[in-house]
Amino acid sequence: MIITIDTGTTNTRVALFDGKQRVDQVKANIGVRNTSIDGNNQQLVTTIANAVSQLKQSHSLQDTDIEAILAAGMITSNLGLYEVPHLVAPVSLSNFADNIKSVVIPEVSDLPIHFIPGVKNLDTDNLQSVVGLDIMRGEEVEALAIADLFNIEQDAIIALPGSHSKFVSVDAQQTIRGCCTTLAGELNAIVTHHTILTSSLQDRFSETLCTDSLLEGYQASESYGLGHALFLIRLQEQFGGKQHEQLASFLIGVILHSDIKALSSAPQLHFSSETPVYIGGSGLLCDATAVLLNHQFPDNPVIQCQDVQDLSAIGSIYVAQKANLI
Protein backbone atom coordinates (compact mmCIF):
# COMPACT_ATOMS: atom_id res chain seq x y z
CA MET A 1 0.00 0.00 0.00
CA ILE A 2 1.10 3.56 -0.74
CA ILE A 3 0.20 6.77 1.08
CA THR A 4 0.26 10.02 -0.89
CA ILE A 5 0.14 13.54 0.52
CA ASP A 6 -0.97 16.49 -1.64
CA THR A 7 -0.93 19.86 0.13
CA GLY A 8 -1.94 23.10 -1.53
CA THR A 9 -2.58 26.61 -0.32
CA THR A 10 -5.86 25.86 1.43
CA ASN A 11 -6.39 22.08 1.37
CA THR A 12 -4.60 18.81 2.07
CA ARG A 13 -5.43 15.36 0.72
CA VAL A 14 -3.89 12.25 2.22
CA ALA A 15 -4.78 9.12 0.25
CA LEU A 16 -4.21 5.38 0.45
CA PHE A 17 -3.43 3.56 -2.79
CA ASP A 18 -3.20 -0.06 -3.78
CA GLY A 19 -1.00 0.27 -6.84
CA LYS A 20 -2.60 3.16 -8.78
CA GLN A 21 -6.07 2.48 -7.38
CA ARG A 22 -7.22 4.81 -4.63
CA VAL A 23 -8.63 2.88 -1.68
CA ASP A 24 -9.40 5.73 0.72
CA GLN A 25 -8.77 9.41 1.24
CA VAL A 26 -8.82 11.98 4.03
CA LYS A 27 -9.36 15.64 3.12
CA ALA A 28 -8.81 18.65 5.34
CA ASN A 29 -9.23 22.40 4.87
CA ILE A 30 -5.69 23.02 6.07
CA GLY A 31 -2.84 24.10 3.81
CA VAL A 32 0.24 26.26 3.72
CA ARG A 33 -1.98 29.32 4.10
CA ASN A 34 -2.39 28.29 7.73
CA THR A 35 1.37 28.14 8.19
CA SER A 36 1.69 31.65 6.79
CA ILE A 37 -1.01 32.98 9.14
CA ASP A 38 0.14 31.10 12.25
CA GLY A 39 3.86 31.58 11.75
CA ASN A 40 4.44 27.83 12.21
CA ASN A 41 3.38 24.58 10.52
CA GLN A 42 1.89 22.85 13.56
CA GLN A 43 -1.64 22.70 12.13
CA LEU A 44 -0.29 21.11 8.97
CA VAL A 45 1.83 18.60 10.88
CA THR A 46 -1.09 17.61 13.11
CA THR A 47 -3.53 17.36 10.19
CA ILE A 48 -1.26 15.10 8.15
CA ALA A 49 -0.30 12.97 11.16
CA ASN A 50 -3.97 12.43 12.03
CA ALA A 51 -4.83 11.59 8.42
CA VAL A 52 -2.03 9.02 8.13
CA SER A 53 -3.08 7.48 11.44
CA GLN A 54 -6.74 7.38 10.40
CA LEU A 55 -5.97 5.61 7.12
CA LYS A 56 -3.80 3.04 8.86
CA GLN A 57 -6.38 2.36 11.57
CA SER A 58 -9.30 2.21 9.14
CA HIS A 59 -7.56 -0.45 7.08
CA SER A 60 -5.72 -2.25 9.89
CA LEU A 61 -2.31 -1.40 8.48
CA GLN A 62 1.08 -1.49 10.16
CA ASP A 63 4.15 0.39 9.02
CA THR A 64 5.37 -2.81 7.38
CA ASP A 65 2.29 -2.73 5.13
CA ILE A 66 3.22 0.70 3.72
CA GLU A 67 5.56 0.63 0.71
CA ALA A 68 6.12 4.37 0.72
CA ILE A 69 4.74 7.74 1.80
CA LEU A 70 4.95 10.21 -1.09
CA ALA A 71 4.50 13.98 -0.83
CA ALA A 72 4.14 16.67 -3.50
CA GLY A 73 2.84 20.18 -3.82
CA MET A 74 3.24 23.13 -1.48
CA ILE A 75 4.19 20.66 1.24
CA THR A 76 7.72 20.92 -0.21
CA SER A 77 7.82 24.71 0.21
CA ASN A 78 9.17 26.71 3.14
CA LEU A 79 5.60 26.80 4.48
CA GLY A 80 5.11 23.02 4.23
CA LEU A 81 6.61 20.08 6.09
CA TYR A 82 10.05 20.04 4.49
CA GLU A 83 11.48 22.50 1.98
CA VAL A 84 12.91 21.03 -1.19
CA PRO A 85 14.52 23.43 -3.71
CA HIS A 86 12.89 23.76 -7.11
CA LEU A 87 14.61 21.94 -9.96
CA VAL A 88 15.50 24.17 -12.90
CA ALA A 89 13.80 23.28 -16.21
CA PRO A 90 14.22 21.29 -18.33
CA VAL A 91 13.51 18.49 -15.85
CA SER A 92 13.20 14.85 -16.90
CA LEU A 93 11.45 12.05 -15.06
CA SER A 94 14.89 10.77 -14.04
CA ASN A 95 15.80 14.22 -12.67
CA PHE A 96 12.70 14.15 -10.45
CA ALA A 97 13.49 10.63 -9.27
CA ASP A 98 17.12 11.50 -8.50
CA ASN A 99 16.19 14.57 -6.46
CA ILE A 100 13.53 13.14 -4.14
CA LYS A 101 14.31 14.03 -0.53
CA SER A 102 13.48 11.28 1.96
CA VAL A 103 13.01 12.53 5.51
CA VAL A 104 11.64 11.04 8.72
CA ILE A 105 9.33 13.44 10.53
CA PRO A 106 8.53 11.63 13.80
CA GLU A 107 5.47 13.78 14.52
CA VAL A 108 3.90 12.41 11.34
CA SER A 109 5.31 8.89 10.88
CA ASP A 110 8.27 6.70 11.75
CA LEU A 111 8.51 5.93 8.03
CA PRO A 112 10.41 8.30 5.74
CA ILE A 113 8.34 10.71 3.70
CA HIS A 114 9.58 11.05 0.12
CA PHE A 115 9.26 14.69 -1.00
CA ILE A 116 9.12 15.33 -4.76
CA PRO A 117 10.56 18.72 -5.81
CA GLY A 118 8.80 21.41 -7.80
CA VAL A 119 10.10 23.19 -10.89
CA LYS A 120 11.22 26.69 -11.80
CA ASN A 121 11.95 27.88 -15.31
CA LEU A 122 15.12 29.87 -14.65
CA ASP A 123 18.09 29.72 -12.32
CA THR A 124 17.07 32.44 -9.88
CA ASP A 125 20.56 32.55 -8.37
CA ASN A 126 21.75 34.12 -11.63
CA LEU A 127 18.57 35.89 -12.70
CA GLN A 128 18.99 38.64 -15.28
CA SER A 129 15.31 39.19 -16.10
CA VAL A 130 11.93 37.86 -14.96
CA VAL A 131 10.93 37.19 -18.58
CA GLY A 132 10.27 33.47 -18.78
CA LEU A 133 10.39 33.03 -15.01
CA ASP A 134 7.74 30.86 -13.38
CA ILE A 135 7.45 28.25 -10.64
CA MET A 136 5.24 25.34 -9.65
CA ARG A 137 4.88 22.86 -6.83
CA GLY A 138 2.40 20.05 -7.40
CA GLU A 139 1.42 20.72 -10.99
CA GLU A 140 4.61 19.03 -12.21
CA VAL A 141 3.43 15.63 -10.96
CA GLU A 142 -0.06 16.29 -12.35
CA ALA A 143 1.48 17.01 -15.74
CA LEU A 144 3.61 13.86 -15.56
CA ALA A 145 0.50 11.83 -14.72
CA ILE A 146 -1.29 13.13 -17.83
CA ALA A 147 1.81 12.58 -19.98
CA ASP A 148 1.90 8.96 -18.78
CA LEU A 149 -1.85 8.23 -18.87
CA PHE A 150 -2.27 9.69 -22.37
CA ASN A 151 1.02 8.35 -23.75
CA ILE A 152 2.26 11.78 -24.80
CA GLU A 153 5.25 11.18 -27.07
CA GLN A 154 5.58 14.57 -28.77
CA ASP A 155 6.03 18.18 -27.79
CA ALA A 156 2.83 19.25 -26.06
CA ILE A 157 1.21 21.66 -23.62
CA ILE A 158 -0.63 20.37 -20.58
CA ALA A 159 -3.16 22.91 -19.35
CA LEU A 160 -4.37 22.70 -15.76
CA PRO A 161 -7.12 25.31 -15.29
CA GLY A 162 -7.96 26.30 -11.74
CA SER A 163 -7.60 29.06 -9.16
CA HIS A 164 -4.01 29.40 -10.33
CA SER A 165 -4.02 27.94 -13.82
CA LYS A 166 -0.87 26.35 -15.19
CA PHE A 167 0.34 25.70 -18.70
CA VAL A 168 3.12 23.08 -18.64
CA SER A 169 5.35 22.42 -21.65
CA VAL A 170 6.60 18.85 -22.14
CA ASP A 171 8.66 17.29 -24.91
CA ALA A 172 8.53 13.91 -26.60
CA GLN A 173 10.48 12.30 -23.73
CA GLN A 174 8.05 13.73 -21.15
CA THR A 175 10.68 16.20 -19.95
CA ILE A 176 9.12 19.33 -18.47
CA ARG A 177 10.51 22.32 -20.37
CA GLY A 178 8.78 25.09 -18.44
CA CYS A 179 5.50 26.40 -17.11
CA CYS A 180 3.38 29.55 -17.08
CA THR A 181 0.94 30.55 -14.33
CA THR A 182 -2.20 32.70 -14.48
CA LEU A 183 -4.76 33.72 -11.86
CA ALA A 184 -7.78 32.77 -13.99
CA GLY A 185 -9.90 31.05 -11.34
CA GLU A 186 -9.00 33.50 -8.62
CA LEU A 187 -9.85 36.48 -10.86
CA ASN A 188 -13.16 34.86 -11.72
CA ALA A 189 -13.96 34.50 -8.01
CA ILE A 190 -12.88 38.03 -7.11
CA VAL A 191 -14.90 39.68 -9.88
CA THR A 192 -17.94 37.50 -9.18
CA HIS A 193 -18.00 37.98 -5.40
CA HIS A 194 -16.17 41.21 -4.56
CA THR A 195 -16.75 43.95 -7.17
CA ILE A 196 -19.48 46.23 -8.49
CA LEU A 197 -20.26 43.38 -10.90
CA THR A 198 -21.33 41.07 -8.05
CA SER A 199 -24.96 42.16 -8.35
CA SER A 200 -25.01 41.71 -12.12
CA LEU A 201 -23.48 38.25 -11.71
CA GLN A 202 -25.84 37.36 -8.82
CA ASP A 203 -22.83 36.62 -6.60
CA ARG A 204 -22.52 33.13 -8.09
CA PHE A 205 -20.89 31.16 -10.86
CA SER A 206 -22.83 29.68 -13.74
CA GLU A 207 -23.32 25.93 -13.94
CA THR A 208 -23.51 25.98 -17.73
CA LEU A 209 -21.39 27.59 -20.42
CA CYS A 210 -22.83 29.88 -23.09
CA THR A 211 -20.36 29.56 -25.94
CA ASP A 212 -21.52 32.67 -27.82
CA SER A 213 -21.13 34.85 -24.73
CA LEU A 214 -17.76 33.28 -23.94
CA LEU A 215 -16.46 34.22 -27.38
CA GLU A 216 -17.97 37.71 -27.06
CA GLY A 217 -16.15 38.23 -23.79
CA TYR A 218 -12.90 37.04 -25.34
CA GLN A 219 -13.30 39.43 -28.25
CA ALA A 220 -14.23 42.32 -25.94
CA SER A 221 -11.00 41.84 -24.01
CA GLU A 222 -9.09 41.69 -27.30
CA SER A 223 -10.71 44.91 -28.53
CA TYR A 224 -10.96 47.04 -25.40
CA GLY A 225 -8.65 45.56 -22.77
CA LEU A 226 -9.53 43.98 -19.44
CA GLY A 227 -11.00 46.95 -17.58
CA HIS A 228 -13.64 48.08 -20.06
CA ALA A 229 -14.45 44.52 -21.12
CA LEU A 230 -15.30 43.75 -17.50
CA PHE A 231 -17.54 46.81 -17.16
CA LEU A 232 -19.45 45.68 -20.23
CA ILE A 233 -20.91 42.96 -17.97
CA ARG A 234 -22.78 45.59 -15.97
CA LEU A 235 -23.87 47.41 -19.12
CA GLN A 236 -25.20 44.19 -20.63
CA GLU A 237 -27.09 43.38 -17.43
CA GLN A 238 -28.54 46.91 -17.08
CA PHE A 239 -29.35 47.67 -20.70
CA GLY A 240 -28.82 44.54 -22.77
CA GLY A 241 -31.19 42.14 -21.04
CA LYS A 242 -28.54 39.43 -20.76
CA GLN A 243 -29.18 36.51 -18.40
CA HIS A 244 -26.89 35.17 -15.70
CA GLU A 245 -25.49 32.30 -17.77
CA GLN A 246 -24.57 34.71 -20.55
CA LEU A 247 -22.96 37.26 -18.22
CA ALA A 248 -20.96 34.65 -16.30
CA SER A 249 -19.74 33.10 -19.55
CA PHE A 250 -18.83 36.54 -20.91
CA LEU A 251 -16.74 37.10 -17.76
CA ILE A 252 -14.85 33.84 -18.28
CA GLY A 253 -14.12 34.85 -21.87
CA VAL A 254 -12.75 38.20 -20.71
CA ILE A 255 -10.50 36.53 -18.14
CA LEU A 256 -9.30 33.67 -20.33
CA HIS A 257 -8.22 36.08 -23.04
CA SER A 258 -5.07 36.70 -21.01
CA ASP A 259 -4.57 32.94 -20.53
CA ILE A 260 -4.62 32.35 -24.29
CA LYS A 261 -2.24 35.29 -24.73
CA ALA A 262 0.12 33.84 -22.13
CA LEU A 263 0.01 30.40 -23.75
CA SER A 264 0.91 31.72 -27.18
CA SER A 265 3.48 34.29 -26.01
CA ALA A 266 5.38 32.87 -23.02
CA PRO A 267 8.81 31.83 -24.35
CA GLN A 268 9.18 28.95 -21.87
CA LEU A 269 6.18 27.13 -23.40
CA HIS A 270 7.58 26.78 -26.94
CA PHE A 271 4.02 26.93 -28.33
CA SER A 272 3.62 26.61 -32.09
CA SER A 273 0.81 26.24 -34.61
CA GLU A 274 1.05 22.45 -34.33
CA THR A 275 1.43 21.96 -30.57
CA PRO A 276 -1.34 19.78 -29.08
CA VAL A 277 -2.89 20.95 -25.83
CA TYR A 278 -4.09 18.47 -23.21
CA ILE A 279 -6.52 19.99 -20.71
CA GLY A 280 -6.54 18.25 -17.34
CA GLY A 281 -9.64 18.28 -15.18
CA SER A 282 -13.31 19.10 -15.62
CA GLY A 283 -15.61 22.06 -15.07
CA LEU A 284 -16.44 25.36 -16.72
CA LEU A 285 -12.89 26.73 -16.85
CA CYS A 286 -11.68 23.57 -18.57
CA ASP A 287 -14.55 23.55 -21.06
CA ALA A 288 -14.13 27.26 -21.75
CA THR A 289 -10.39 26.85 -22.30
CA ALA A 290 -11.06 24.10 -24.84
CA VAL A 291 -13.62 26.21 -26.72
CA LEU A 292 -11.30 29.21 -26.91
CA LEU A 293 -8.29 27.15 -27.98
CA ASN A 294 -10.30 25.50 -30.74
CA HIS A 295 -11.55 28.91 -31.83
CA GLN A 296 -8.21 30.70 -31.72
CA PHE A 297 -5.95 27.85 -32.88
CA PRO A 298 -8.09 25.59 -35.11
CA ASP A 299 -5.04 23.65 -36.35
CA ASN A 300 -3.87 22.65 -32.87
CA PRO A 301 -5.28 19.41 -31.46
CA VAL A 302 -7.11 20.02 -28.16
CA ILE A 303 -7.67 16.99 -25.93
CA GLN A 304 -9.81 17.23 -22.79
CA CYS A 305 -8.61 14.78 -20.15
CA GLN A 306 -11.89 14.69 -18.24
CA ASP A 307 -11.94 11.12 -16.98
CA VAL A 308 -8.87 11.41 -14.80
CA GLN A 309 -8.65 11.66 -11.02
CA ASP A 310 -5.93 11.82 -8.37
CA LEU A 311 -3.45 13.36 -10.80
CA SER A 312 -1.07 14.51 -8.07
CA ALA A 313 -1.01 11.09 -6.46
CA ILE A 314 -0.72 9.19 -9.75
CA GLY A 315 2.12 11.46 -10.85
CA SER A 316 3.89 11.00 -7.51
CA ILE A 317 3.61 7.23 -7.87
CA TYR A 318 4.98 7.49 -11.42
CA VAL A 319 8.05 9.36 -10.14
CA ALA A 320 8.48 6.97 -7.19
CA GLN A 321 8.46 3.98 -9.52
CA LYS A 322 11.23 5.60 -11.57
CA ALA A 323 13.18 6.09 -8.33
CA ASN A 324 12.64 2.41 -7.40
CA LEU A 325 10.92 3.41 -4.16
CA ILE A 326 7.95 1.18 -4.97
**CATH code: domain of residue 81:** 3.30.420.300
pLDDT-based confidence at 308, cuts 50/70/90? confident
**DSSP output for 208-246:** S--HHHHHHHHHHHHHH-HHHHHHHHHHHHHHS---HHH
d(C-alpha 272, C-alpha 259), whole Å: 16
Are residues 58 and 14 in contact, defined by beta-carbon separation less than 8 angstroms?
no
Four-point Cα dihedral 91, 25, 46, 31, nearest 10: 50
pLDDT in tens, 184-236: 999 999 999 999 999 999 999 999 999 999 999 999 999 999 999 999 999 99
Residue 159 forms part of a structural domain: no
DSSP H helical ranges for 150-210: 184-194
d(C-alpha 96, C-alpha 141), whole Å: 9
pLDDT at 123 over 90: no
Residue 11 forms part of a structural domain: yes
Residue 200 forms part of a structural domain: no
Q: What residue numbers bound the domain in which 98 lies?
A: 2-128+309-323
Q: What total of structural domains would you count in the chain?
A: 1
d(C-alpha 54, C-alpha 62), whole Å: 12
Residue 156 forms part of a structural domain: no
End-to-end CA distance of the chain: 9
Sign, CA dihedral 234-165-245-242, equals positive
Residue 144 forms part of a structural domain: no
Residue 51 forms part of a structural domain: yes
Residue 35 forms part of a structural domain: yes
Tell me which of 234 and 8 has the higher pLDDT. 234
d(C-alpha 165, C-alpha 181), whole Å: 6
pLDDT given at position 297: 97
pLDDT given at position 68: 97
Residue 19 forms part of a structural domain: yes
pLDDT at 248 over 90: yes
pLDDT in tens, 63-81: 999 999 999 999 999 999 9
For 324, residues 6+ apart whose C-beta sits below 8 A from its C-beta are 97
